């Protein structure tokens, strides 16, 4: 058997509506929203009886997705949003954009904060990390060609 694709990256959020709007501003499309609950869902996650609001966001090319989850029950038990970029575990999601400066200008209006600075890697990319309005680490890359 062969791997077919990566389906999505999951991000747990507190403000589902605000996070949807942030990723819309970045350029993702809302594919759909749903409430997930019941015994079957708890068997998958190991959390038992859970009640979760989710939103699936799709990249413009149709290949990448973010699953945004807001847990109603059980409550969130840990917060990794302030971990530095060298912390163990999942770090960030990165997006390629047409114009990094214009993207930063738009996202700052939605609460984004630049982590370091925008840098250029050789003649290939301009790169930066931002923290979204909920503190999630997001990478932006602009291809230079």
For residue 1, being part of any structural domain is answered with no
Q: Are residues 65 and 109 in the same domain?
A: no
Tens digits of residue pLDDT in 111-121: 999 999 999 99
* Predicted confidence band of residue 129 (pLDDT cuts 50, 70, 90): very high
Per-residue confidence (pLDDT) for residue 65, from 0 to 100? 96
Per-residue confidence (pLDDT) for residue 29, from 0 to 100? 98
> What range defines the domain where residue 110 resides?
93-143
The domain tally of the chain equals 2
Q: Are residues 97 and 58 in the same domain?
A: no
- Among 139, 56, 66, which residue's Cα sits nearest to residue 97? 139
For residue 87, being part of any structural domain is answered with no
Q: Are residues 58 and 100 in the same domain?
A: no
For residue 43, being part of any structural domain is answered with yes
Q: Are residues 15 and 65 in the same domain?
A: yes
CA 102, CA 111: separation in Å to the nearest integer?
15
Are 13 and 90 in contact by the 8 Å Cβ rule? The answer is no
For residue 48, being part of any structural domain is answered with yes
Give the residue with greater pLDDT, 87 vs 27: 27
Per-residue confidence (pLDDT) for residue 77, from 0 to 100? 87
* Predicted confidence band of residue 25 (pLDDT cuts 50, 70, 90): very high
CA 53, CA 73: separation in Å to the nearest integer?
10
Q: Are residues 104 and 64 in the same domain?
A: no
For residue 51, being part of any structural domain is answered with yes
For residue 14, being part of any structural domain is answered with yes
Per-residue confidence (pLDDT) for residue 120, from 0 to 100? 95
CATH code assigned at 112: 3.10.180.10
Per-residue confidence (pLDDT) for residue 8, from 0 to 100? 93
pTM for the complete prediction? 0.90
What is the share, in percent, of the chain residues with pLDDT greater than 70?
A: 100
């Amino acid at each position: 058997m062969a791997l077919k694709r990566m389906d999505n990256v999951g991000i747990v959020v507190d403000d589902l509506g605000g996070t949807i709007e942030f990723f819309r501003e970045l350029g993702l499309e809302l594919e759909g929203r749903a409430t997930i609950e019941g015994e079957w869902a708890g068997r998958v996650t190991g959390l038992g009886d859970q009640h979760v609001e989710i939103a699936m966001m799709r990249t413009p090319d149709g290949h990448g997705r973010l699953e945004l989850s807001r847990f109603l029950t059980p409550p969130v038990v840990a917060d990794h949003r302030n971990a530095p970029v060298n912390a163990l575990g999942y770090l960030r999601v990165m997006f390629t954009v047409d114009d990094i400066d214009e993207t930063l200008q738009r996202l700052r209006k939605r609460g984004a904060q630049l982590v370091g600075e925008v840098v250029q890697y050789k003649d290939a990319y301009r790169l930066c990390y931002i923290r979204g309005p909920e503190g999630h680490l997001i990478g932006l890359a602009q291809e230079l060609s």
